[in-house]
Amino acid sequence: MERTLCLIKPDAVKNLKTWEILGRLDFSFNVIAIKKHQFSREEVKKFYAEHIGKDYYPGVEDFMVSGPIYAIILEGTNVINRYRDMLGYYDPPKAHLNSLRRIYGSVSPANAVHGSDSEESARREISFFFPNFK
């Protein structure tokens, strides 16, 4: 079984959509761990290190520290690709109509959810929030 990390971002948490999103995920994947977390600026810098220096990064950092998130480990067959398909395009207005980002997001980076983009990223991101999961 493959694993990936889902983050329910501050906008979806603030808009009380966490459990609605989680219900959609639980229907498609095994949810094996979940925790609420409030990012510090230093943690955002570590988590999004590959984006530092890009023109959009300051907005990402400000947004991710603006409120709590939920970190969730999802497990299933081909879970990374299947979950990323559910996410849709990173900019909600351009995402497909039934995508999580189109339904729950507004405009990037306030796009409601994050998903790992590869097995390597999934391992790194999962260990960031859940160091006991390998």
Percent of the chain with pLDDT over 70: 99
Among residues 118, 95, 120, which one has the least CA distance to residue 106? 95
Task: Supply the pLDDT for residue 134.
Answer: 65
- Per-residue pLDDT of the chain in tens (134 residues, 90 and over written 9): 899 999 999 999 999 999 999 999 878 899 999 999 999 999 999 999 999 999 999 999 999 999 999 999 999 999 999 999 999 999 999 999 999 999 999 988 899 999 999 999 999 999 999 999 86
The pTM is what? 0.94
Q: What is the phi/psi pair of residue 25, to 5°? A: -70, -45
Mean pLDDT, the chain, integer: 95
| Sheet containing 30-37: order of strands | 30-37, 69-76, 2-8, 113-115
Measured N-to-C along each axis, helices 18-28 and 79-87 cross at an angle, to the nearest 10 degrees, of: 140
Residue 101 to residue 112: CA distance in whole angstroms? 6
**Identity of the residue numbered 45:** K
Residues taking part in catalysis: 114
CB atoms within 10 A of CB 99: 21
* Contact assessment for residue 111 and residue 105, using Cβ atoms and an 8 Å cutoff: yes
Domains, the chain, in order of start with CATH, read 2-129 (3.30.70.141)
Sign of the alpha-carbon dihedral angle for 71, 43, 108, 52? negative
